[in-house]
């Protein structure tokens, strides 16, 4: 015959069950998938995002910043019925991903990546030969942002990066692009050498930025062209280099033997833009 259960033991069991239930509910809350959103920080990046039609959920502005150059942002936000919140600057300092939010942060939908074929189609729609930048093993987000900005300024139609061991469209890269990231098509591929083969089948010539190449101002940088830029430390990988049709170089006359990747990209893209417009 079973004796009566100890009341204290029943109470301890109830407390334990309640704790397990609360912990389970907490885990369920934290296991929810995050919203597919990103932060845009700084005046110019947010202004360009508004102009490009990016879906923005809300804009947070530090209190006291109403009359400090944000009027165009406020006007565009009002036109699109985007919520503006005035918050303590400490909240923005806590939320920032770049460390330089300039008193304003927007919450927007995440970037959509494109297929390389869509970049080529963009060029065709504009009646232009494709000009594509391919980044091999580049990992610095500041360099990436600067390259995006230069690519946009020089009329490039898109940028191709890799999914592994590579830069991404992070808040730092976006801010470094000064808003150009909102207008540039970016493709993320798994196998870069295979992508180069597919581009060549589509009639695109592949040029590697390499010290042993022909001087850039003597090279033909017109026509359907993809320019491959390697990382500062490793350069272009061997397998990628083997798929390139030719190489171009930037002659160095000083004591330093190499350039920052974004500076090199700027010089080569600028020359390509000049050749394309001057014939």
The domain limits of the chain are 37-109, 116-278
Domain 37-109 CATH superfamily: Ribosomal protein L30/S12 (3.30.1330.30)
Nearest to 151 by CA among 274, 262, 277, 279: 262
The DSSP result for 125-141, as a single string, is HTT---EEEEEES---H
Closest CA to 61 of 103, 108, 107: 103
Q: Is the pLDDT of residue 4 over 60?
A: no
* Separation CA 19–CA 16 (nearest Å): 5
Q: What is 116-278's CATH superfamily? A: SPOUT methyltransferase, trefoil knot domain (3.40.1280.10)
What number is the average pLDDT over the span 250-272? 93
Q: What was the pLDDT predicted at 29?
A: 40
Q: Which of 6-20, 119-133, 170-184 has the lowest mean pLDDT?
A: 6-20
209 falls in which pLDDT band (50, 70, 90)?
Answer: very high
Percent of the chain with pLDDT over 90: 61
What is the chain's mean pLDDT, rounded? Answer: 87
Q: Does 37-109 match 116-278 in CATH topology? A: no
Residue 1 half-sphere exposure toward CB, CA atoms < 13 A: 2
Instruction: Give the pLDDT score at 2.
Output: 46
DSSP label at 235?
B
pLDDT the model gives residue 232? 76
Tens-place pLDDT, residues 28-82? 443 433 347 889 999 989 999 899 888 899 999 998 755 556 889 999 999 999 9
The mean per-residue pLDDT over the stretch 12-22 comes to: 54
What is the reported pLDDT for 66? Answer: 58
Strand ranges (E), the chain? 37-41, 56-62, 83-87, 104-109, 131-136, 158-162, 185-189, 205-215, 225-230, 246-249
pLDDT at 217: 96
- pLDDT of amino acid 231: 85
Q: Taking the model in full, what pTM does it have?
A: 0.76
Find the Cα–Cα–Cα–Cα dihedral 131, 135, 136, 137, rounded to 10°. Answer: 180
pLDDT at 181: 92
Q: Does position 279 have pLDDT exceeding 90, yes or no?
A: no
| pLDDT tier, 9 (very low <50, low <70, confident <90, very high otherwise) | low
Asked whether the CA dihedral 165, 166, 167, 170 is positive or negative, the reply is negative
In 3D space, the residue among 58, 55, 40 whose CA is nearest the CA of residue 101 turns out to be 40
Which position has the higher pLDDT, 256 or 11?
Answer: 256
User: Which residues, including other chains, have CB under 8 Å from residue 100's CB and lie 6 or more apart?
Assistant: 41, 42, 175
- 3-state SS assignment for residue 57: strand
pLDDT in tens, 127-142: 999 999 999 999 999 9
pLDDT computed for residue 138 by the predictor: 94
**Window from 22-26, 180-184, 214-218 with minimum mean pLDDT:** 22-26
């Amino acid at each position: 015959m079973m004796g009566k259960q100890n009341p204290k033991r029943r109470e301890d069991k109830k407390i334990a069950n309640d704790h397990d239930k609360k912990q389970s509910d907490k885990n369920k809350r934290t296991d929810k998938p995050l919203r597919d959103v990103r932060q845009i920080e700084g005046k110019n990046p947010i202004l360009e995002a508004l102009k490009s039609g990016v879906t923005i959920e809300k804009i947070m502005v530090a209190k006291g910043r109403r009359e400090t150059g944000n009027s165009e942002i406020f006007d565009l936000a009002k036109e699109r019925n985007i919520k503006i919140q005035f918050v303590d600057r400490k909240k923005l300092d806590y939320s920032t991903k770049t460390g330089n939010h300039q008193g304003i942060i927007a919450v927007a939908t995440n970037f959509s990546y494109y297929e390389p074929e869509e970049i080529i189609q963009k060029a065709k729609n504009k009646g232009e030969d494709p000009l594509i930048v391919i980044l091999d093993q580049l990992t610095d987000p500041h360099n990436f942002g600067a390259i995006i900005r230069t690519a946009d300024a020089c009329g490039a139609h898109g940028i191709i990066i890799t999914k592994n061991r590579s830069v991404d469209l992070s808040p730092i890269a976006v801010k470094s692009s000064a808003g150009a990231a909102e207008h540039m098509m970016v493709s993320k591929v798994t196998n870069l050498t295979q992508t180069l083969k597919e581009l060549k089948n589509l009639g695109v010539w592949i040029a590697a930025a390499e010290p042993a190449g022909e001087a850039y101002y003597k090279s033909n940088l017109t026509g359907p062209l993809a320019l491959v830029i390697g990382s500062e430390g490793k350069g272009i990988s061997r397998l990628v280099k083997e798929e390139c049709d030719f190489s171009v170089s930037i002659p160095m006359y000083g004591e330093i033997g190499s350039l920052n990747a974004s500076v090199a990209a700027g010089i080569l893209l600028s020359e390509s833009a000049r050749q394309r417009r001057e014939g």
